[in-house]
Structure 1
Amino acid sequence: MSFKPSQHQVAGHDGCLIAKGLFAKPSNDRESSFYSQLIEFDNKKAKSFTDQDDQSGYVGDYLSNWVPSYFGDLTENQLDEPLDLDFDQMNVASKFIPPKGLVSTDKKYILLSNLYEDFVSPSILDIKLGSVLTDDLATPEKVERLHKVSQSTTSGSLGFRICGMKLFQKDEKLPDLSKFKNDAIKIDETVQSDDGYLKFNKIFGRSLTPGTVPDALRLFISNSVDEKFQYHYLEQFYKRLQLLYNCLLDYEVRIISGSLLFIIENNPTILGRVEDPEEFDPLISDKFDINENDEEEDDDDDDDDNENPHKKTIKKLSSLNMIDFAHATFVPGQGPDDNVLQGVENLIKIFEDILEVQ
């Protein structure tokens, strides 16, 4: 198993790598510690439900349902070597038991599940949460700089900001971007057409206002997708955001500069084979409800998935995940993270408003 540069990264720092089912990103000890503590916390939470004969709680009740699976840490030199762990083992490991032998004292990369793996032609949206964008370790210069960014963007007014967006194009016709034009930027310079995708950079997101953010969300959902799937995606994300909000109320954490990653399938061949979208689009990936006796799917055609979507097994149509915990900590006794909750709450309201007129 060898790693190569990720082709679907839309925001954040460069240098992320992928292998089959895996995503390796440059990281720090704080992010590794957060994932490790989350695994321990949610395992105890699951056990408490089991002890009470109360199954495993409510849908989306665990923060682990909303984050990538964590498999430990690798050094840079380990990434150049074949990884002595097959993907079937990784699937088992996703039940919050990091595989042995991966942890190194010289941490450079954090090893996570690849959230893009189940999609053929994904459109991707990265939304940074919070109006406060720096943690207690930031320098005064960084605090001042990012405070100005927050005050001049929707980070300050809405508690979230679109950081990057990548839209699949099934034809060469460009969407109408006239709603996003303003005197501060040239909108054409914030969007790049490349290899069948439209890529919107961070300047596009910083130029948005509370009035144009809903238009950007509509564009993400509607580009290259017919009305049946548009409504389905909007409804699924609306439900997921509500579940996530309720989940976060139970966690005493501070997640600075964390993001929500929205992904939708846009491949016309895949979508053309779907009669009922909900059949292939569960609200969450329930990591505490994995049946170990289920037969493994045949993955022999995975290498040809992108080349021949007709042979692609339909695995997922959309997903919502929380990512980026390099500045995240558990804070027992201090209550939930209002900085993050504000942004999620405002997103819920915007999706609700869009659905009402859809």
Structure 2
Amino acid sequence: MAKPLPLHADLIQYQHAVAGHDGTLCDVNGELFIKPCTAAEIAFYEASVASHPQFAEYMPTYLGTLTLDADQEVTSFEDASAALIAKHTIPEVVVPPKNNKQTKKIATSQALVLENAAHGFVKPNIMDTKLGIRLWADDAHPDKKTRFDKITEETTHKTFGFRVAGMRVWQGHGASGQDVDEDGYKIFDKDYGKVFIGNHNVKEAFRNFIFAESAGIDKELGRLVAQALLTDVMRIQDVLENQESRMFSSSLLFVFEGDGAALRSAMEEASRSPPTLANGDESTSGSSEDGDELEPAGPKIYAVNVIDFAHAEWTPGMGPDENSLTGVRSVVKILRELAAE
């Protein structure tokens, strides 16, 4: 295990989460995403980075772990990659803001440090789609199995193998109205995918995510976004079909530039530049191994990640994860249809 590094910057509560447990944090610049986690999730990240690089390409970039005290404040940082972590200011103390809402935090003394997939966008649109028909792992408590099976029966999990767990979609400057926050984002909370989206209108959720004319995302831009997202989900499908794993309640996380003017500008710049922006990749300033200067990072267009690995493991000899693949294939079909409209 690497020696803990010195710590010297504050963390704040992460404001852009659309699903999952409370207690997620980020650094003040928004580059790092801090997620309380179990030892099993850390082990899955480390095994993926070490032995499954094709899959790891579609995971959030893993930077290391934090040790938390009883109040989930940081006591130490242990790096997984010194070269990556050197790019960032390392966090020191966590002081989450107080609020009156009931919080649901995972009981743990550890947290993952990941690169924030939503960083670098002008107005990031974010969608979390929970994968699987069966949502519980083998060691789940019987009450949890019953509760999750009920969710499957009552939502799109049963037919499509996924559910929209949450979205935030920018509506444009000066936007207001029901479920629109002070920053102009329409919030689609967990009830959206459980109550308002069913087998008859599941494609509408993706249409609401991608096409927002009030934000400048017209049909032309929306089709290009759908095609870009489709390309990466198809690659994820290919990786999962050729590897052996079991992931329960993992998700596909989609992020794309929600400001139509910024999106169009970013696409135009990417068309004039080397193809380095696929799946949110960025080049960084500095020198390459052969001494050449690297170009500064360009504007980001989109990112697709597989996330949430609390109940995930690599399972040699057991074949592909058909439970998760059912949802991935359904998403491929929907995005293909939207890209062709």
Q: TM-score range by the shorter chain?
A: 0.7 to 0.9
Identify if the C-alpha distance between structure 1 residues 252 and 277 changes in structure 2 by more than 3 Å, giving closer, same or farther: farther
Q: 2:315 corresponds to which residue?
A: 331
The CA distance in 2 between the partners of 1:137 and 1:315, in whole Å, is 43
Q: 2:45 corresponds to which residue?
A: 35
Q: 1:16 corresponds to which residue?
A: 24
Q: 2:254 aligns with which of 226, 248, 262?
A: 262
Q: Report which stretch shifted further, 158-167 or 343-352.
A: 343-352
Percent of residue pairs identical = 31
The CA distance in 2 between the partners of 1:161 and 1:11, in whole Å, is 11
Q: Does 1:25 align with 2:17?
A: no
Unaligned stretches of 5+ in structure 2? 1-8, 91-107
The CA distance in 1 between the partners of 2:182 and 2:234, in whole Å, is 34
Q: 1:213 aligns with which of 197, 202, 205?
A: 202
Q: 1:232 aligns with which of 181, 202, 224?
A: 224
Q: 2:324 corresponds to which residue?
A: 340
Q: 2:11 corresponds to which residue?
A: 3
Identify if the C-alpha distance between structure 1 residues 285 and 92 changes in structure 2 by more than 3 Å, giving closer, same or farther: farther
Q: 2:306 corresponds to which residue?
A: 322
Give the TM-score of the pair, scaled to structure 2.
0.78
The CA distance in 2 between the partners of 1:220 and 1:40, in whole Å, is 34
Q: Does 1:242 align with 2:240?
A: no
After TM superposition, the structure 1 = structure 2 runs for residues 250-329 of structure 1, keeping only pairs within 5 Å, are: 250-271=242-263, 273-274=265-266, 276=268, 278-279=270-271, 282-284=277-279, 291-292=288-289, 293=291, 295=293, 314-329=298-313
Identify if the C-alpha distance between structure 1 residues 283 and 144 changes in structure 2 by more than 3 Å, giving closer, same or farther: same
The CA distance in 1 between the partners of 2:172 and 2:233, in whole Å, is 28
Deviation at 1:38, TM superposition (A): 0.8
Q: 2:131 corresponds to which residue?
A: 129
The CA distance in 1 between the partners of 2:55 and 2:160, in whole Å, is 23
Deviation at 1:71, TM superposition (A): 1.9
Matched position secondary structure for 1:118: coil
The CA distance in 2 between the partners of 1:253 and 1:67, in whole Å, is 14
Contact 1:281 1:316 in 2 (8 A): no
Number of matched pairs:
298
Contact 2:13 2:26 in 1 (8 A): yes
Partner amino acid, structure 2, of 1:243: R
The CA distance in 2 between the partners of 1:4 and 1:294, in whole Å, is 37
Unaligned stretches of 5+ in structure 1? 44-61, 100-105, 176-187, 299-312
Identify if the C-alpha distance between structure 1 residues 226 and 81 changes in structure 2 by more than 3 Å, giving closer, same or farther: farther
Q: 1:305 corresponds to which residue?
A: none
Deviation at 1:90, TM superposition (A): 2.1
The CA distance in 2 between the partners of 1:133 and 1:277, in whole Å, is 41
Deviation at 1:240, TM superposition (A): 1.2
Identify if the C-alpha distance between structure 1 residues 316 and 135 changes in structure 2 by more than 3 Å, giving closer, same or farther: same
Partner amino acid, structure 1, of 2:278: L
Partner amino acid, structure 1, of 2:47: Q
Partner amino acid, structure 1, of 2:209: F
Q: Does 1:203 align with 2:201?
A: no
Q: 1:303 corresponds to which residue?
A: none
Deviation at 1:88, TM superposition (A): 9.0
Matched position secondary structure for 2:168: strand
Contact 1:3 1:79 in 2 (8 A): no
Contact 1:2 1:81 in 2 (8 A): no
| RCO comparison, higher one (Cα < 8 Å, 6+) | 1
Q: 1:354 corresponds to which residue?
A: 338
Deviation at 1:72, TM superposition (A): 2.1
Q: Deviations over 1:4-59 (max 9, x none)?
A: 1111100000110111421110100110000111112136xxxxxxxxxxxxxxxx
The CA distance in 1 between the partners of 2:333 and 2:326, in whole Å, is 11
Contact 2:277 2:298 in 1 (8 A): no
After TM superposition, the structure 1 = structure 2 runs for residues 51-200 of structure 1, keeping only pairs within 5 Å, are: 62-76=54-68, 80=74, 89-90=83-84, 107-172=109-174, 191-200=179-188
Deviation at 1:114, TM superposition (A): 1.1
Contact 1:29 1:107 in 2 (8 A): no
Partner amino acid, structure 1, of 2:129: I
Contact 1:131 1:156 in 2 (8 A): yes
Q: 2:4 corresponds to which residue?
A: none
Give the TM-score of the pair, scaled to structure 1.
0.75
